[in-house]
Amino acid sequence: MNPIGPTRQRRKEIRPQQLLAAALTLFVEKGFAAARVEEVARLAGVSKGTLYLYYPSKTELFKAVVRENIATLIGEAHEIVAGAAGSSAELIGMLLTGWWERVAGSQVGGLHKVMLAEVGNFPELAQFYVDEVIRPAHRLFEALIRRGIERGEFRPVDAPAVAHAVMTPVLFLMLHEHSFGACPIEGFEIDPAATLTAHADLMLQGLCARAEISP
């Protein structure tokens, strides 16, 4: 057996992941406009031509980074929730914790800051981000709130508005982590885990149909 063929095949298979990891780092560090395709290729250890074989433009590369690191996770969360048997309060708490651990509190969370900073200059990317991230995440929380109402766990509320209320503090924490949190300022320290726990407690106590139910 010739070992060269399998080795080359393995390298070919992992190259897109190398490119996406390098692109994530540079997009978060420099923003979309300032990040250069040549830098991504160099950081990934490939040529610019190789990068273009997989992603024909910087825009497509950014979209791939978002899909790989955020959109896919939201899709997985939808599947988990669809087959879950636990209480709606437990599921919301699980989603908030999981979002922080896998997205908001990691390097990936910096992508949201990039979008907010450059949304006016790149409307195509803004629309993509809304379609692939914001709307699916909102639908997920809205569906959970409606589930809780239908099961008698939550009192009747405006589900779309409450879904926004659930998501907003998490978005703030994500932005803080990649701004003030990255350069701590005395008197403005925030404990993300404690803040997220407090948010979940207040939100779920307000939603619960019976006051004695704990989140």
The DSSP code sequence of 75-113 is: HHHHHHHHT--S-HHHHHHHHHHHHIIIIITSGGGHHHH
Provide the pLDDT for residue 24: 96
Q: E-assigned strands of the chain?
A: none
Structure confidence at residue 147 (pLDDT): 94
Tokens standing for residue 154: 């939550």
How far apart, in whole angstroms, are the C-alpha atoms of residue 137 and residue 209? 24
What phi and psi values does residue 149 have, to the nearest 5 degrees? -65, -45
Q: Which is nearest to 127 in space by CA: 64, 135, 165, 170?
A: 135
Examine domains 1-56 and 59-207 and report if their fold is the same.
no
Given this model, what pLDDT does residue 189 score?
77
Domain range 1-56, CATH class: mainly alpha
- pLDDT the model gives residue 61: 96
Among 110, 106, 103, smallest CA distance to 28 is for 110
- Residue the block writes with tokens 């988990």: 80
Fold for domain 59-207? Answer: Tetracycline Repressor; domain 2 (1.10.357)
CA distance 100 to 95: 8
Q: pTM (2 decimals)?
A: 0.83
pLDDT given for residue 20 in this prediction: 95
- Smallest CA-to-CA distance from 73 within 37, 51, 98, 91 is with 98
- The answer to whether 89 touches 207, Cβ cutoff 8 Å, is yes
Nearest to 182 by CA among 41, 28, 47: 28
Q: Are 19 and 55 contacting, i.e. CB atoms less than 8 angstroms apart?
A: yes
Residue 210 has a pLDDT of 63
What integer pLDDT is reported at residue 10 of this predicted model?
44
Residue reference for tokens 């701004």: 179
- The pLDDT value recorded for residue 57 is 95
Output the pLDDT for position 88: 93
pLDDT, tens digit (0-9, with 9 covering 90-100), for 34-76: 999 999 999 999 999 999 999 999 999 999 999 999 999 999 9
152: left (phi over 0), alpha (psi -120 to 50) or beta: left
Q: Where are the chain's structural domains?
A: 1-56, 59-207
Written as tens digits, the pLDDT of the chain (215 aa) is 444 444 444 445 557 889 999 999 999 999 999 999 999 999 999 999 999 999 999 999 999 999 999 999 999 999 988 888 889 999 998 888 888 888 877 889 899 989 988 988 999 999 999 999 999 999 999 999 999 999 999 999 999 999 999 998 888 888 888 877 677 677 777 888 888 888 888 888 889 876 444 44
